[in-house]
Structure 1
Amino acid sequence: MSAQAAPGQDRAPAPDASASGRTSGGLRAALAATTTRGRSFLAAGIAAVICSYVLGQSDLLRVGLLLAALPLVCALVLHRTRYRVAGSRRLSPARVPAGSESRVHLRLDNVSRLPTGLLMLQDRVPYVLGPRPRFVLDRVEPTGRREVSYRVRSDLRGRYPLGPLQLRLTDPFGMCELTRSFSAYDTLTVVPRTEALAPVRLAGETTGFGDGRHRALALAGEDDVLPREYRHGDDLRRVHWRSTAKYGELMVRREEQPQRAGCTVLLDTRADGYYGAGPDSAFEWAVSGAASAALHMLERGFSVRLLTDTGDSVPGPDALGGAQQSPESADAAGLMLDTLAVIDHSDGEDIAAAYDVLRSGHEGLLVAFLGELDDESAATVARMRQRTTAAVAFVMDGAAWAQDAEPSATDDHVRMLREAGWTALPVRPGQPLPDLWRQAEQHSSRIQGTKAGA
């Protein structure tokens, strides 16, 4: 680990590290920080002094004074200790899938010219990440450092703060213990688990940069070329001499600008559409499925947007429609995963807001992860197909997830979506997304075959 703090690293001196090293409250705080052993010695000393007065034993008086003075002297020495230390934290990695581990590296630097005594380093972590880590550090030499690490793991996605780092000072006899806190903290992001999906071909789908996806700016001959001014580094073979003579400055032909195929991943977050809670619930399956589908389409070169039933979209409503507007795949993937890490149920009862967003423009591929639908929501989802070139829906079977013996209307709603042109599949507990993804391709192939035969 380098001696320099990396970007995003928690590196901050303790509030008391710049001067005397005293905690707020001064000597009174030091006396209040005596340990059980220190209080026991103090009580025993006071009792011995009282007994010596009652019994008239001078030797017992000396013992009592020694017992009572020891914790007081330790508190005074610890109070006047002038340690100057700096702490740092580094997460490796700072973003992990649910169920995976991240390692937290801690470093303590003694920036003073005096050695430290016995130190205990403690980091504050949420209970879902595991027990609070504690490390006992022996004497740290002047300008020296100590490095320790621990692991954290969570089965629940979310954003979890780590810190602030706490440092406990204690005397060699264990009579007094002071706690000093650093100010900075880091955040561990636990994103949904993702699964690798096969590169299937869906009905109406075009590849991310396939044939017909390039928009040429000069298609009708030399007179229709749209030039631009010459920039440093441009190839001189692209100089357009006619425009150069016309404008009086060096002009070059524009390059063809590729148009990326668009894909919208729709995630239904309505609380009424899902049953259960926890890592194995239907909602977590849908969130994980949306993350897997988004990453898969980004890897295939698509411009991907994440849309929820509330109409909120990530990376934004203008993300689709061209390479100039689309963020880099790695940035888009990180943004979507960070959003899905903290996404929760909405209070909505329908998907009309998402339909309004899709209705405003012509979408490419639409992949939807839907909770249990009612008749009105199913009709709204069916109308979404009119604005897409291809549409795939994974619909949660509420009765199966709730382990209800009564049949649900999921099959009827899936049939309604298929009649509207969707590739729709019901989702039941225990069904992995990769298998359903391949089934979607088979269903889509049957639709293509039926249309070709007609």
Structure 2
Amino acid sequence: MRNPWRLSTGRGKLFVVLGLVIGLTALLLGQPDLLPVALLLLLAPLIAWLLVGGLRLRLAAQRELWPTEVAIGDPMTGEVAIAKRSAIPQGVLLFADHVPAELGESPRFVMSGLDPHWQRDITYPLVARNRGRFSTGPLLVRGEDAFGLVTHDRQFKATTEVMVMPRMYPLSKSKLLGAGSNTGESRPKTIGTLGPDDVMIREYRPGDDVRRIHWPSTARRGEVMVRREEQAWDPSATIILDSRRNAHVGSGPDSSFEVAVSAAASVAQHFLDQRFGIDLYHADGSVARPSSPDGHQLTSRQVLMHSLTDLRLSREETMTKGLEAELAGQSGELLIAICGLLTPVDAEMLLRARRTRAASMAMVLDVPEWEAGIPGGATFTAQQIEDHREGLNILREHQWRVVELPREKTIPEAWRELELTGAGR
């Protein structure tokens, strides 16, 4: 049983002090008429303590929150069902359900009345403001008498886990990406429909059969190119997500990094829908491959979204670790890079990552323009901006399809533009 003095409010303690003072004064001065007042002041906090803190308050609570997996910006609904089963009437009950700031404001509500038995269902709205995993609860109950003399705090143990995932956007179904050449040859390819009949080439290596030389590509590139060996077609794509802290600006859902994560999730889901295997890499290395062993697309999506939900900005200053991991486990005919602020060194490393893949694309956030829209944001130096532009040019000059993503452009718009952009443009 708790110390009654600790449960007393400032008003309750004042009642006790005044009761003692008046009672002693009445005894010392021989004023018996003051004793009833002193007794009332002393008994009021005691009775309040018996009702609020001294007797067992039988409360039951059940909590729900739905949905428990949402994307940034989605609404949620919380519900708390509270039931009181006690023969003794309770004064005022104050309830507060803990909610992290990333999901909204903590709801507070009051129950009062003399009915010893009651049940209430309380619902409240929430909004997923930031990506990550969060916990709502526990529910805090503060019992208080009608005069505010005594309070007693109790806390339930139950909590609810919430996962806020990156926002995914539906991307246009892959359209024909034609890559014309000055030789008059046209090699149409459709992302997501590449197959064994498509021409796959690589650089000539000593010992290659001269009958496998691909003359149009040799003429176009100025070096001997040969057809790749026939192999079983395994449609897969690799996504490289630039998660370096020094490559992004802003904070919260409108930061360049959150947009990059959303873009990576959208592109990955786009290819998963087309039954592609996906490999995802970031600045710190690889992410668990979101392709389930049995090819179940729902499981694949869950693995992908769980991985991206937990992803945080990296302290790595270069993309070396992530690209080395990609080179070590290179697979797939498609390479898609979601980049922040680039440097020529970053671009050269991305060229190494492409090697003999059929297609390589880069969605590059226009971070300098992004940063300019942030009040009080740090200003990139002229050299950093120049390096960023040079990195873009290096990718374009080496047959990458590149599109820039400024703040005002949506991810589906950037993807549509990327599909329509010819290599090297």
TM-score where L is the length of structure 2: 0.77
What pairs with 1:156-171 in structure 2 (closer than 5 Å)?
156-171=130-145
Contact 1:75/1:176 (<8 A) preserved? yes
1:332 aligns with 2:300: yes
* Distance of aligned partners of 1:88 and 1:315 in 2 relative to their CA distance in 1, 3 Å threshold: farther
Asked if 1 retains the 8 angstrom alpha-carbon contact of 2:404 and 2:414, the reply is no
Out of 391, 401, 406, the residue aligned to residue 423 of structure 1 is: 401
Deviation at 1:113, TM superposition (A): 6.4
Q: Which residue type is aligned with residue 333 of structure 1?
A: R
**CA separation in 2, counterparts of 1:273 and 1:98?**
22
Give the deviation of 1:405 after TM superposition. Answer: 7.9
- 1:10-409 aligned at under 5 Å gives the runs 26-28=1-3, 30-53=4-27, 55-110=29-84, 112=85, 114=87, 117=90, 118-138=92-112, 145-201=119-175, 203=177, 204-207=189-192, 261-315=235-289, 319=291, 325=293, 328-359=296-327, 360-403=329-372, 404=380, 406=382, 407-409=385-387
Please state whether the residue corresponding to 2:149 is helix, strand or coil.
coil
- CA distance in structure 2 between the aligned counterparts of 1:212 and 1:109, rounded to whole angstroms: 65
SS at match of 1:155: coil
| Equivalent-residue separation in structure 2 for 1:435 and 1:382 (angstroms) | 25
Letter in 2 for 1:343: L
CA distance in 1: counterparts of 2:401 and 2:114, whole angstroms: 65
Q: Is the 8 A contact 1:197 1:434 kept in 2?
A: yes
Distance 1:40 1:139, change over 3 A: same
Cα displacement (A) at 1:75: 0.8
Distance 1:382 1:259 in 2: 23
Tell me: CA distance 1:141–1:64, structure 2 relative to 1, closer, same or farther (3 Å): closer
Residue type of the partner of 1:419? E
- CA drift at 1:149: 1.3
Deviation at 1:182, TM superposition (A): 1.4
Distance 1:75 1:169, change over 3 A: same
For structure 1, the 5+ residue unaligned runs are: 1-25, 214-257
- Taking the aligned partners of 1:65 and 1:48, their CA distance within structure 2 comes to 9
Alpha-carbon contact 1:202-1:440 (below 8 Å) kept: no
Tell me which moved more, 136-145 or 85-94: 136-145
Shift in alpha-carbon separation, 1:155–1:389, aligned structure 2, 3 A: same
Instruction: State the 1:351 CA deviation.
Output: 2.2
Deviations 1:426-454 (A, max 9, x none): 2323222121111111114x67xx9xxxx
Distance 1:116 1:384, change over 3 A: farther
Aligned residues: 369
Letter in 1 for 2:330: G
In structure 1, what residue type is equivalent to 2:35? L
After TM superposition, give the deviation of residue 202 of structure 1 in Å: 6.1
- Seen in structure 2, the aligned counterparts of structure 1 residues 116 and 100 have a Cα distance that, compared at 3 Å, is farther
Q: Give a deviation string over 1:133-188, Cα, whole Å, max 9, x none.
A: 11223469788632111122242222222111112223344321111111221222
Report the CA distance between 1:259 and its aligned residue.
7.5
Cα distance in 2 between the residues matched to 1:39 and 1:61: 18
How far apart in 2 are the matches of 1:116 and 1:95? Answer: 40
> What's the Cα RMSD here?
3.0
- Cα distance in 2 between the residues matched to 1:163 and 1:34: 26
Aligned-residue offset at 1:358: 3.1
* CA distance in structure 1 between the aligned counterparts of 2:321 and 2:94, rounded to whole angstroms: 54
In the other structure, the counterpart of 2:219 is none
Larger mean CA deviation between 142-151 and 433-442 belongs to 142-151
**How far did 1:99 drift?**
2.3
Contact 2:76 2:128 in 1 (8 A): no
Please say which of residues 275-284 and 377-386 is displaced more in the overlay.
Answer: 275-284
- In structure 2, relative to structure 1, the CA distance for the partners of 1:43 and 1:358 (3 Å cut) is same
The offset of 1:326, in angstroms, is 5.3
Q: Indicate conservation of the 8 Å contact 1:164/1:184, yes or no.
A: yes
